[in-house]
Amino acid sequence: MSDSPASRAAAATPPSVARKIRGLSDRAIAWIFVAPTIFLLLAINIFPLIWTINLSFTNFKANSPNREVVNVGFRNYQRILTDSDIWLNMQATAHFLFWTIFFQVIIGFTLAYLINKKFKGNDLWTTIIVLPMMLSPAVVGNFWKFLYQPQIGLFNYIIAFFTGKDPSSFEMLGSVSLAPWSIVIVDTWMWTPFVMLICLAGLRSIPDYIYEAAEVDRASKLRQFFTITIPMVLPFLMLAVLFRGIENFKMFDLVVQLTGGGPGSTTELTSINLKREAFEKWRTGYASAYAIILFVTVFGLASIYVKALNKVKER
Amino acid sequence: MSSFSVTEPSRRAKWFAGTLVILYALITMVPLAWIMLTGFKSPSDAISYPPKVFFEPTLEGYVNLFTTRTRQTPEFLAANPPENWYEEIVREYDMVIVGPSKFGERFLNSVIIGFGSTFLSIFLGTLSAYAFSRFKIPLADDLLFFILSTRMMPPIAVAIPIFLMYRQLGLSDTHLGMILLYTGVNISLAVWLLKGFIDEIPLEYEEAALIDGYTRFQAFYKVVLPQAATGIASTAIFCLIFAWNEYAFAVLLTSGTAQTAPPFIPTIIGVGGLDWPAVAAGATIFLLPVMIFTILLRKHLLRGITFGAVRK
């Protein structure tokens, strides 16, 4: 902007004259336009973050505000990092993260690859496939709970129909071994389209002439797939994984509605555990420290990942 | 177009790909179709085994969703014949309608908070996005990245201080509180997306307007805004869908007056456990607008869900 004719003219004009001619100065407009947003971000994002950091060093309990608040230093952090239950929650989260991303990448990429064959009506079917990911996760969790009911649920009925098992012989949400998979299934159902859309954008970004050149060089279709398609789509795929990773690390609504963290604590992801600590046990200080640890973890992992992503892009 | 192209898939490949994709689409639609069907079932049909695909449709679920009912004595029922079709449905269970349920209110809250926060996010977001796109703002890149990184916080983590703050300010369980909160969360998305859309509008248009004697502000709303209309509309739909679907903040920070539909729908209880047809009816009414918006939005979907990182 700085070297456009208009702003050069503005720079050459004394401010008082400029104000008369053009109303407010660009600088003033810039600040007037940005200020409300910055204020809101400070109030809703930054200030709470600082407050959380502050609380994390205390033993504050939100349900007993009159209790004396003591500064406990790093004790909250120490307790969290040495608590074996929290490591179990982390493991549940890791299981959830790994398998959802695994299935979503495989199914999502395959679908994108097939849609990119440009068969008739592919736009319509893409739109239909995309629908689940736009829905409210809490409501989705709630109605999948209905599908997972052992006696009456459609999911159990269909599985029973194909395997010949008794539909009431297994409980997707009630059994320790199946519950972690039940949340993986719903998340995969919901979010595969997301990975698919991003992969599709990647596939469509590959110019035709690269394949034409490969064809001239008599590279086999398989070879083209591994030396052109995969490397060109990889940055897109990695971006999709980044988004899914961050989102699923924060996962709360869907799983809370489906299993509520149970049975026992087999599906108690970190966010659900955090909610328990903060809003059921009311250990506000402790939960704040927990929140900060989670934030730093996501932020750290995401930063490392973005560096790797940029390297892949540069290649 | 050449008569033979190596990149054009063969007819057999197209047919094969099409079949598989359509098969996936149909399977993925089964849960949604099932929940919509369940909304038109009677409670006994909804929980029958094996699950019923063919059944006599009834609006019972919808009536139960919108009303509260109470059981009455046969004498009372005989003395007061049903006056309309929904009374008749309820009478089959020896009940009478005593008033509306809370679903209407909760749904209205979703509408007020959704549209309120969307309007505010778009209003503030468009101004900021224009400033970020056209003016040199110190630390702009860092600021934008920071705005984005606040989205990495789990909502529950953000909810702890917000909960305390709102309690102090008297904003707990108020429409204003929820509108401000959702705006605060949405504005990062709005600024990012809108900046992308405004960046694509050539600078020359405004410069021409400025030379023609428009003030900067006139150039903004007479030249840039109309050009950005599609971008603004699709960003608005994204903000609306987020606010509409949000659950974590809503369940922690609202309990009555300002509660939105997502925390409410799972709590619809009928006689003897969850009233599945009513829950399904509520889910259907709640999800339909989003489905329609998704179809309207399909061209810009990718951009919205990736914070503008991928543009088609």
Rounded Cα–Cα distance for residues B218 and B46 (Å): 59
Distances (CA, A) of A142 to A153, B63, B195, B283, B289: 13, 20, 36, 9, 18
In a domain, A275, yes or no: yes
Do A26 and A102 share a structural domain? no
The radius of gyration computed from the CA coordinates of chain A, to the nearest angstrom, equals 26
Do A43 and A92 share a structural domain? no
Q: What SS3 state is found at A149?
A: coil
DSSP calls for B201-266:
S-HHHHHHHHHTT--HHHHIIIIIHHHTHHHHHHHHHHHHHHHHH--HHHHHH-SSTT--HHHHGG
- A226, A173 contact by CB (below 8 A): no
Do A218 and A112 share a structural domain? yes
In a domain, A212, yes or no: yes
Do A15 and A157 share a structural domain? no
In a domain, A244, yes or no: yes
- pLDDT grade for B29, boundaries at 50, 70 and 90: very high
Closest-CA distance of chain B to residue A250, Å: 5
Q: How many CA atoms does the CB half-sphere of B169 hold within 13 Å?
A: 15
Domain that holds residue A32: 5-55
Answer yes or no: do A44 and B181 touch at CB < 8 A. Answer: yes
B304: enclosing H helix or E strand: helix B301-305
Do A29 and A98 share a structural domain? no
Answer yes or no: do A29 and B131 touch at CB < 8 A. Answer: yes
Task: Render pLDDT for B189-241 as a digit per residue (tens, 0 to 9).
Answer: 888 889 888 988 888 888 898 888 888 888 888 889 998 888 898 899 889 99
- If you classify domain B104-267 with CATH, what class do you get? mainly alpha
Do A204 and A153 share a structural domain? yes
For residue A187, the model assigns a pLDDT of 95
B162: enclosing H helix or E strand: helix B155-169
Closest-CA distance of chain B to residue A232, Å: 14
Report the chain A residue with the minimal C-alpha distance to residue B305: A194
ipTM of predicted assembly, 2 dp: 0.86
For residue A18, the model assigns a pLDDT of 47
In a domain, A64, yes or no: no
Residue listed under structure tokens 């969703």: B65
Distances (CA, A) of B287 to A136, B245, B280: 7, 9, 10
| From B14, B34, B291, residue closest to A119, measured CB to CB | B14
Describe chain B by its helix, strand, coil percentages, rounded to 5: 70, 5, 25
- B87, B97 contact by CB (below 8 A): yes
Q: Which of A31-35, A92-96, B89-93 has the weakest average pLDDT?
A: B89-93
Asked if the model's pLDDT at residue A1 lies above 50, the reply is no
The amino acid that residue A305 corresponds to is Y
For residue B276, the model assigns a pLDDT of 87
Contacts A284 to B, Cβ<8 Å: 160, 164
Do A42 and A177 share a structural domain? no
Answer yes or no: do B156 and A138 touch at CB < 8 A. Answer: no
In a domain, A65, yes or no: no
Q: What is the rounded average pLDDT of the residues B58-64? A: 87
Contacts B36 to A, Cβ<8 Å: none
Helices (H), chain A: 5-12, 15-22, 26-41, 47-55, 75-82, 84-115, 122-130, 137-147, 154-163, 179-205, 208-216, 221-224, 230-249, 253-258, 270-275, 284-314
DSSP state of B154: -
Q: What is the rounded average pLDDT of the residues B270-282? A: 78
What is the rounded average pLDDT for all residues in chain A?
Answer: 86
- Is B2 touching A (CB cutoff 8 A)? no
Task: Render pLDDT for A192-242 as a digit per residue (tens, 0 to 9).
Answer: 999 999 999 899 888 888 888 988 888 888 999 999 999 999 989 998 998
Domain at A154, CATH number: 1.10.3720.10
Length of chain A: 315
Do A114 and A46 share a structural domain? no
Q: What is the pTM of this model?
A: 0.87
Beta bridge partners of B95: B71
For residue A109, the model assigns a pLDDT of 95
Answer yes or no: do A122 and B203 touch at CB < 8 A. Answer: no
Domain residue ranges of chain B, discontinuous segments joined by +: 58-101, 104-267
Asked if the model's pLDDT at residue A16 lies above 60, the reply is no
| From A30, A147, A295, residue closest to B131, measured CB to CB | A30
Query: How far is CA A267 from its chain centroid?
Result: 18
Rounded Cα–Cα distance for residues B155 and A270 (Å): 12
Task: Render pLDDT for B218-230 as a digit per residue (tens, 0 to 9).
Answer: 888 888 999 888 8
Do A91 and A48 share a structural domain? no
A164 dihedral zone (left: phi>0; alpha: psi -120 to 50; beta)? left
> Longest C-alpha distance within chain B, in Å?
84
Pairing of strands B269-270, B273-274: antiparallel
Question: Count of domains in chain A?
Answer: 2
Residue ranges of A 167-196 with Cβ closer than 8 A to chain B: 167, 189, 194
